Structure 1
Amino acid sequence: MGTVLKALLQQRHLQTVSSFNREYDRLARALEPELVDGGPKKAQFYRWLAGDVSRLPYPHHCRILQAMFPEWTITELFEEFSGDPGDLVRHPEPPRSQGTTGRGEMADVEAVFATRLDFMRAMPPQELFETAQQIDMAGLSLNMLCQQYSDSDIVRLLDTGTVIRCLFLNPDGTNIRDREIEEGHPAGLLTNLTDTNIRTLERVRNKTSPTTPGSLLIRVYDQPIRFNITIIDATVCVMQPYMPATRGVESPTFVARKSSGPGIFTTFCDVFESMWADSSERRSE
């Protein structure tokens, strides 16, 4: 027996105290920075999951829990629940009035970071990809996977059945050269980086066998570069625009979570699928 909170955390793979407190701190940084590192201790956290509480948590904990699960009241989160976590259905959001301000106007956007570096400090790829079963990525060189995530971790994901689709700006195309000029790089810098990253993933893929349950798909496209898109488990979307004369690592980063209402999550899933449909295998040398 456990609580609704326990089941919802299992849905998001946040059922350990360390993973929960990382999410707690991420929300606290955006909402109430003074609460960072103020999440529940281990014993308290597992009492929350078991329902072994005589009263609701302190107000500051309740505020973070409410931000984490806006579709549920705090009382509902601590109700008993013994079913399958997948059986829980989010409550429909109340209608928004035209004058509503604050979080309601952000649709399904749950976090905004000034730069990719800020995003990666709050949501490192080791955490973002840890339990993913599907990862879709489109952009320029896909450094978050190729440079900030280890080969052994990629192999581990493939061995557990993860499907990874990677869409690179074609290093043999014209648009990557236009981007080099726009960012003020020497000719060939982005081309060589992207080529290296593709070869890195090809090397990782060669370590797998025909019986490996997961798959690593690598394709290229040659279009004006507009967005860096990462979609995890068809649930969370990380999106960055490519800014004029600005490196991708310095661009603002948006995180959206799939919801029942309109938002950017569906928009960028559609963008990715359209780009993937128009992409191609890279020609072998």
Structure 2
Amino acid sequence: MGFPAGGDGTDPRAGGSEAPTLIVRGGRGPLPPQGGPLEGMPPAWAAEQWDDAYRRVRLAGRAYVWLNLVEQRMRALVDEVLRPVYAPAHGEEWVTAAAGPAGEEWVHRAAAVREVSRRKGYLLDPVDDEPLVFLTLPQLRELMVQHWPCFEPHLVDRREIELALDELEVARHVVSRNRALTRTVLDQTERAAARVLALLDGTHGGVPADVVEELVAGRYADVVAVHPDRVRLQRDLPVEDLLDGARRLDAVGIGLGMLCQNYTGKRLVRLAGDGCRIRLLFLNPASSAVRRRERELGIGRGELGRAVEMNIMHVRRVRARLRDQGSFEIRVFDDLPRFTAYLVEGPRTTGAGGRRRSTDLGVVQPYLRRARGIESPALVLRGGAGQESGGTEPGLLEVYREEFEDLWGDSRPVS
């Protein structure tokens, strides 16, 4: 709080021509005099305010990218489905005709915005000089709902699409008005947007590609996520999601606990029965490397070896239930283990615009001297993500595949 210097209670305007000197109390900086702000001293943010602003930008920026992609995909789908129906009879006014009496008002409003954009030079790309470009996501959705019989042959489930679009509305309102977005709403937005994009392309299942990851993955050699430990990894990427649709699984580690303890034998039998070729590489429980690892972790002699033996017995029982046991290989190696890795090959899928996308995934954890596998940091790799932007260097997924092949060549089969 500021007071005139002197403190005698007199009106400072009564005598002298100098402006009053302010005595400031508190940590918010000097207060301006009653006449206006201090000259040459713009209001400044404290460090905490900058940190909060950066946090809001990060959250809102991710949400905006997802919402932008969903809106582009919806607009393209509406254009592909409805233009051939209405354009032959109505020409450039086909959007107005498709909207009908119920949507006439918001189509005219979009046309007015388009005209203003034309006059002010906001249309930087001639492709954007289309009435459809100026419709919002709810209006595009309304066109889809009104003409569902036209969309039904191309889409899987109208109710699921509408529910996912409902979830996006909260984030859309928050981002468009630059209000604070919570982490919970952002997570909901990303899940809903990924689901909408998959449904609009008529696909299901698998781990959805993070749109932000696809924009920047080339900088990080196909590393698309980093988790401080396996617990948080499995919260975001459960084993069943990692292995969904897998055509090949190569796994190497001391005991492969993430697979043997978090993926049931029945699921593993079903995965192999569906045509997935599996190669599992364990550390030899009788090797000296096991005893050295036990000393590093400070556990009793033989404890780790017995745990590895139990996991090997578990996968042997799974293999025994398969008709084609040659597609399920189990081996052991004797080298000092440096990492555990689950390398999954999936089918090549076609995304928007006919773009081929790899669904290959990998989870890699380095072994730390004093930390168990469940406590070690985990990297999630997506095949080809590092080459999306034209890079030629192989990503980390290929590096670890080469390491796996080297270890596999020096290993011994388990009967």
- Quote the residue 1:159 is aligned against: 273
Q: Deviations over 1:210-243 (max 9, x none)?
A: 4x7x721000001111000110007212111000
| Distance (Å, rounded) in 2 between the aligned partners of 1:108 and 1:206 | 36
**Which residue identity is paired with 2:282?**
F
- Quote the residue 2:399 is aligned against: 267
Matching of residue 66 in structure 1 with residue 205 in structure 2:
no
Deviation (angstroms), 1:48: 3.7
| Distance (Å, rounded) in 2 between the aligned partners of 1:223 and 1:197 | 19
Structure 2 unaligned runs (5+)?
1-72, 78-155, 165-181, 203-208, 347-359
RMSD of aligned Cα (Å): 3.1
Matched-pair contact (CA < 8 Å) for 2:242–2:361: no
**Bigger RCO (CA 8 Å, 6+ sep):** 1
- Quote the residue 1:36 is aligned against: 187
Q: Deviations over 1:142-166 (max 9, x none)?
A: 0111111001101101111111100
**Which residue identity is paired with 1:272?**
F
Matching residue within 186, 198, 201 for 1:49: 201
Residues 245 and 155 of structure 1: is their aligned pair in 2 closer, same or farther, counting only changes over 3 Å? same
Counterpart of 1:168 in 2: which secondary structure? Answer: strand
**Which residue identity is paired with 2:322?**
T
| Distance (Å, rounded) in 1 between the aligned partners of 2:317 and 2:250 | 19
- Quote the residue 1:75 is aligned against: none
- Quote the residue 1:239 is aligned against: 364
Matching residue within 314, 325, 330 for 1:218: 330
Counterpart of 1:37 in 2: which secondary structure? Answer: helix
Matching of residue 169 in structure 1 with residue 283 in structure 2:
yes
Residues 103 and 47 of structure 1: is their aligned pair in 2 closer, same or farther, counting only changes over 3 Å? closer
- Quote the residue 1:229 is aligned against: 341
Matched-pair contact (CA < 8 Å) for 2:228–2:377: yes
**Which residue identity is paired with 1:224?**
L
More helix by share: 2
| Distance (Å, rounded) in 1 between the aligned partners of 2:217 and 2:200 | 26
Q: Deviations over 1:44-83 (max 9, x none)?
A: 6577437xxxxxxxxxxxxx9631543xxxxxxxxxxxxx
Matching residue within 304, 312, 319 for 1:205: 319
Residues 184 and 37 of structure 1: is their aligned pair in 2 closer, same or farther, counting only changes over 3 Å? same
- Quote the residue 1:86 is aligned against: none
How many positions carry a matched residue from both structures? 215
Matching residue within 250, 267, 278 for 2:410: 278
Structure 1 unaligned runs (5+)?
7-14, 22-31, 51-63, 71-101
Bigger CA radius of gyration: 2
Q: Deviations over 1:226-280 (max 9, x none)?
A: 0001100072121110001111110000011222342211111111111111111
